[in-house]
Structure 1
Amino acid sequence: MNFLRSITRPALAAPFVVDGIDALARPRRHVEKFEKVQPALERAGLPPVLHSDAELLTRISGAVSVLAGLGLATGRAPRTCAAVLATLNIPLTLVNNPVWAVKGQEARKQALSGLMRSAAVGAGLALSAVDRQGRPSLAWQRENRRQVKAAIAQAQAQVRAQYEPAASA
């Protein structure tokens, strides 16, 4: 892992680990945030099963957040962990920054700022999810191997044609 990755991965993961621990230890505060935006989420089509036991959902989300955050920070399955965190970041961003539900210009400005900040973190996680650390993808490796084999076969055929005795007529 290069120097930049060794700094950025733990930095991207830290808020998720801290927030996940808080959700596990003190889920009530997180549930209250969810309950504030629940009516808007229901109007948007949120399945009722998700809010039937918000405290359990909060604890599960916290545990997933901690585990994926630690995985990303330590470099264990970093692409998978980044993808999990990027996916988890979407509902967390909507619950923590309900721009549509706040009243007052200053509160709306703060919620919008939080929304943009969370979107930036999500974009960083998406980039981490596709980062191959300079290694090509498996599809590219397979296609390259096929092209190299074809080029070798063609070169061998040319060498054979050049050095084989000409067929006498």
Structure 2
Amino acid sequence: MLLRRLARPLLAVPFVHDGLSAALHPAEHTDAAREGADRVTQALGVDPLDDTQVSLLVRAHGAATVGAAVLLAVGRAPRTAALTLAALSAPLAVVNQPFSSRGDERREKTGRFVRNLGAVGAAVIAGIDLEGRPGVGYRIGQRRASASRSAQHAVESAAKDAKVTTAKVKAKLS
């Protein structure tokens, strides 16, 4: 319990920092966002976004990141907030992939790519944390086992009652 109270805010700090940076200073993030937006619009076959739209997209992404990070930090819907952060960070990892770059740009993108992958992984781990409670799969298995035992008990009880009834009928007939 104490570990989660410390770890969640610590995990949220980089997300808050990056989200505030994107929301308050979108110009620093628009180049990378432009690459990603161009790939998506090209794949969808729609017109590319203009600079204002990309800037707005960067700000909205930053605000959503800050919102989810704050929810994670204060412990309000922490699993949902963490999975939201993972979903918001995954496109950043794709945009910052270093595989199409060369030289210094590749080195810089590799660092961002690795950090983004780490952030996605950490957020996914936080998102699947059940806080010591059993997971859905375990609970379903337990319910199935209980239902199976109940059904088996009912069958055995019915068989026992049938034997008793058969014995009574035989006794009356003899």
> Scaled by the length of structure 2, what TM-score is found?
0.74
Residue 75 of structure 2 aligns with an amino acid whose one-letter code is G
Match of 1:125 in 2: 123
Match for residue 81 of structure 1? 81
In the TM superposition, residue 91 of structure 1 has moved relative to its aligned partner by 1.8
Compute the RMSD of aligned alpha carbons: 3.1
Cα distance per residue 1:60-109 (max 9 Å; x no partner): 111110111111112211111111111111222334x35246442x4423
Q: Partners of 1:73 and 1:121 in 2: how far apart?
A: 15
2:71 corresponds to:
71
What aligned pairs does 1:2-151 form with structure 2 within 5 A after superposition? 2-35=1-34, 37=35, 41=39, 45=43, 48=46, 51-52=49-50, 53-95=53-95, 97-100=96-99, 102-104=101-103, 106-151=104-149
Q: Which amino acid aligns with 2:61?
A: S
**What SS does structure 2 have at the residue aligned with 1:51?**
coil
Moved more, 144-153 or 69-78: 144-153
Residue 117 of structure 1 aligns to which amino acid in structure 2?
R
The answer as to whether partners of 1:50 and 1:57 remain within 8 angstroms in 2 is no
Q: Deviations over 1:120-168 (max 9, x none)?
A: 2211111222222232234542442242133135336546739x85723
Distance 1:109 1:44, change over 3 A: farther
Selected match of 1:152 from 150, 153, 161: 150
Q: Matched residue pairs, number?
A: 164
Q: Distance in 2 between matches of 1:39 and 1:129?
A: 27
What is the alpha-carbon distance in structure 1 between the residues aligned to residue 47 and residue 41 of structure 2? 14
Q: Aligned letter for 2:79? A: R
Cα contact 1:27–1:59 (8 A) shared by 2: yes
Post-superposition CA distance 1:16-68 (Å, at most 9, x none) = 11121222222222224434x35873697366567330111111111110111
Larger-Rg structure: 2
- Distance between the aligned counterparts of 1:78 and 1:39, measured in 2? 29
Higher RCO structure, 1 or 2 (CA under 8 Å, sep 6+): 1
2:33 and 2:58 in contact (8 A); partners too:
no
